[in-house]
């Protein structure tokens, strides 16, 4: 397996953040009564932090990528990309976020996206969405 690109690293980290947001929402819905926030935070298990840490550890970022990043690397530049390509990238990221949030359960993801399961499978194939093992 080749080393991931910066875009793949970004997608993996975005998936991790999205997963953490969904998990945080779930915990908010399941509030435990009669406990103080201070003791809850101190005694809590923080699975989202562990998940993010594992994700970052599994995505290999070579030192030369880190060293070569400069302030201007993340500025918006016009490379003449077409709107269609940008939309596909956004759609891919959006679907990846939902797949990750639903732990790659495709029927649940399709329902959350408001599309049919066959449409989700078609989009996954068209956009080249793959699941990287953690």
Per-residue pLDDT of the chain (134 residues; tens, 9 = 90+): 566 667 776 777 777 776 666 666 666 655 544 455 545 555 555 555 555 555 555 555 555 555 555 555 556 666 666 778 888 888 999 999 899 889 899 999 999 999 999 999 999 999 999 887 76
Are 61 and 96 contacting, i.e. CB atoms less than 8 angstroms apart?
A: no
Residue 132 lies in a domain: no
Range of the domain at 85: 6-127
- In angstroms, the CA 84 to CA 90 distance is 10
Tally of domains within the chain? 1
Q: Take residue 39 and report the two structure tokens written for it.
A: 């003791």
Lookup: tokens for 125 = 């194939």
Q: Is the pTM of this model over 0.75?
A: no
Residues 16 and 99: beta-carbon distance below 8 Å: no
Q: Is residue 133 part of a domain?
A: no
The rounded radius of gyration (Å) of the Cα atoms in the chain is 18
Domain assignment present for residue 134? The answer is no
- Residue 11 forms part of a structural domain: yes
């Amino acid at each position: 397996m080749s080393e991931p690109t910066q875009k793949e690293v970004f997608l993996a980290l975005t998936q991790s953040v999205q997963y953490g947001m969904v998990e945080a929402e779930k915990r908010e819905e399941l509030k435990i009564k009669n406990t103080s926030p201070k003791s809850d935070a101190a005694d809590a298990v923080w699975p989202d932090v562990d998940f993010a840490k594992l994700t970052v550890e599994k995505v290999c970022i070579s030192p030369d990528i880190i060293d070569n990043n400069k302030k201007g690397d993340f500025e918006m530049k016009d490379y003449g990309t077409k709107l269609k390509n940008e939309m596909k990238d956004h759609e891919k990221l959006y679907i990846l976020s939902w797949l990750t949030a639903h732990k790659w359960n495709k029927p649940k993801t399709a329902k959350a996206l408001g599309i049919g399961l066959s449409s989700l499978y078609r989009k996954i194939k068209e956009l080249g969405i793959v699941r990287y093992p953690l």
